[in-house]
């Protein structure tokens, strides 16, 4: 058996995908973060993970797939064998389920992948495609509550609107998303409001800008309880910081629920950024807000078409 080094596996994540090697594991606070390796002469590999969920919380979940095949989910904490048909293929592993109680901002409640073991004689290579776009968002972008109302087990970052759009387009898309977070509202798990985690992986741990040509801002629905007069300065401040921080092109995806849509539209116009309108995007939900699996498929088609048009126009 050969045990793949964590530093080498870090190279299999998307550029600036917000992973780090810490406490003997490859860690990330983010739901929907992934890594991909290509293997040969490998009938099976084994993934080991550590469950860092908060006490009394549901355990963390991961998911994997071979090439563009079906996703398979597993619970963190026990070794997970992954069969590779024909001994050759591209294996993608994604962080697939956690809980609002997990202290992700300190890193103590982060997802932790402790290693991948391959048979002796198998070969592998890191696959780290540069994403076409990075979406900054909240629980909807992360993939929470897609399959139901049970935390972790019913999260589907591998099957939410962003993942489905990526599959339809055939383009790698990245996400930086924290549950419940907004321009003013802090996220869960100790996460601050978006202005602070824009440049940080976790508390005190800086994060470089995303390495993608486009960045899409998908925030605002969690700020629906704030008055426009209170929210507007925070949005303008965030957008100004974002323009200085990110070297590529930026667009704003309006909240599917249309929360503060007019305010966000005006703020984007002041920056000269395009806006992706979503008012006509019909979709079904789990709880009145979060898209369910059918709704995610509907939104995935809409988002794929909008992103294709956005990039075409440049």
* Domain spans of the chain, in order of start: 2-127, 133-313
The residue ranges of the chain whose pLDDT is under 70 are: none
Per-residue model confidence (pLDDT) at position 314: 85
DSSP three-state, residue 83: strand
DSSP strand pairing (2-3 vs 111-118)? antiparallel
CATH fold match for the domains 2-127 and 133-313 = no
Chain Cα centroid distance, residue 181: 14
DSSP H/E element including 214: strand 214-217
Distance CA 21, CA 145 (A): 28
User: Which residues in 54-129 belong to E strands, given as ranges?
Assistant: 61-66, 72-75, 80-83, 89-97, 111-118, 123-127
Per-residue model confidence (pLDDT) at position 99: 96
CATH 3.40.50.1110 fits 133-313, yes or no: yes
The answer to whether 202 and 192 are in contact (CB under 8 A) is no
The terminus-to-terminus CA distance of the chain in angstroms comes to 48
Q: What is the DSSP letter of 131?
A: P
DSSP strand pairing (20-22 vs 25-28)? antiparallel
Torsion of CA 232, 235, 240, 242, to 10 degrees: -170
Q: Token pair for residue 188?
A: 């869960």
Whether pTM > 0.85 for this model: the answer is: yes
Per-residue model confidence (pLDDT) at position 1: 87
Chain Cα centroid distance, residue 55: 24
Per-residue model confidence (pLDDT) at position 269: 98
What is the CATH number assigned to the segment(s) 2-127?
2.60.120.260
Distance CA 32, CA 177 (A): 8
């Amino acid at each position: 058996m050969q045990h793949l080094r964590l530093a080498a596996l870090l190279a299999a994540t998307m550029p600036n995908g917000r992973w780090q090697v810490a406490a003997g594991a490859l860690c990330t606070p983010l739901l929907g973060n992934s890594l991909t390796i290509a293997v040969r002469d490998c009938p099976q590999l084994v993934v080991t993970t550590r469950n860092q969920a908060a006490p009394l919380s549901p355990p963390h979940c991961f998911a994997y797939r071979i090439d563009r095949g079906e996703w398979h989910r597993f619970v963190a904490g026990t070794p997970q064998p992954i069969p590779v048909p024909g001994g050759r293929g591209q294996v993608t592993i994604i962080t697939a389920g956690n809980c609002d109680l997990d202290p992700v901002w300190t890193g103590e409640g982060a997802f932790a992948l402790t290693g991948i073991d391959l048979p002796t004689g198998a070969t592998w290579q890191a696959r780290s495609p540069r994403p076409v776009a990075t979406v900054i968002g909240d629980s909807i972008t992360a993939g929470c509550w897609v399959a139901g109302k049970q935390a972790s087990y019913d999260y589907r970052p591998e099957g939410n609107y962003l993942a489905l759009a990526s599959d339809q387009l055939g383009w790698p898309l990245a996400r930086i998303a924290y549950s419940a977070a907004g321009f003013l509202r802090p996220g869960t798990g100790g996460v601050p409001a978006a202005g602070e985690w824009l440049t940080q992986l976790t508390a005190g741990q800086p994060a470089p800008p995303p390495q993608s040509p486009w960045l899409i801002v998908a925030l605002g629905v969690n700020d629906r309880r704030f008055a426009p007069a209170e929210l507007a300065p925070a949005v303008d401040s965030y957008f100004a910081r974002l323009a200085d921080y990110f070297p590529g092109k930026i667009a704003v995806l309006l909240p599917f629920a249309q929360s503060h849509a007019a305010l966000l539209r005006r703020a984007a116009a002041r920056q000269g950024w395009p806006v992706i309108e979503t008012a006509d995007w019909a979709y079904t939900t789990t709880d009145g807000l979060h898209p369910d699996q059918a709704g995610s498929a509907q939104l995935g088609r809409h988002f794929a078409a909008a992103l294709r048009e956005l990039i075409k126009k440049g």
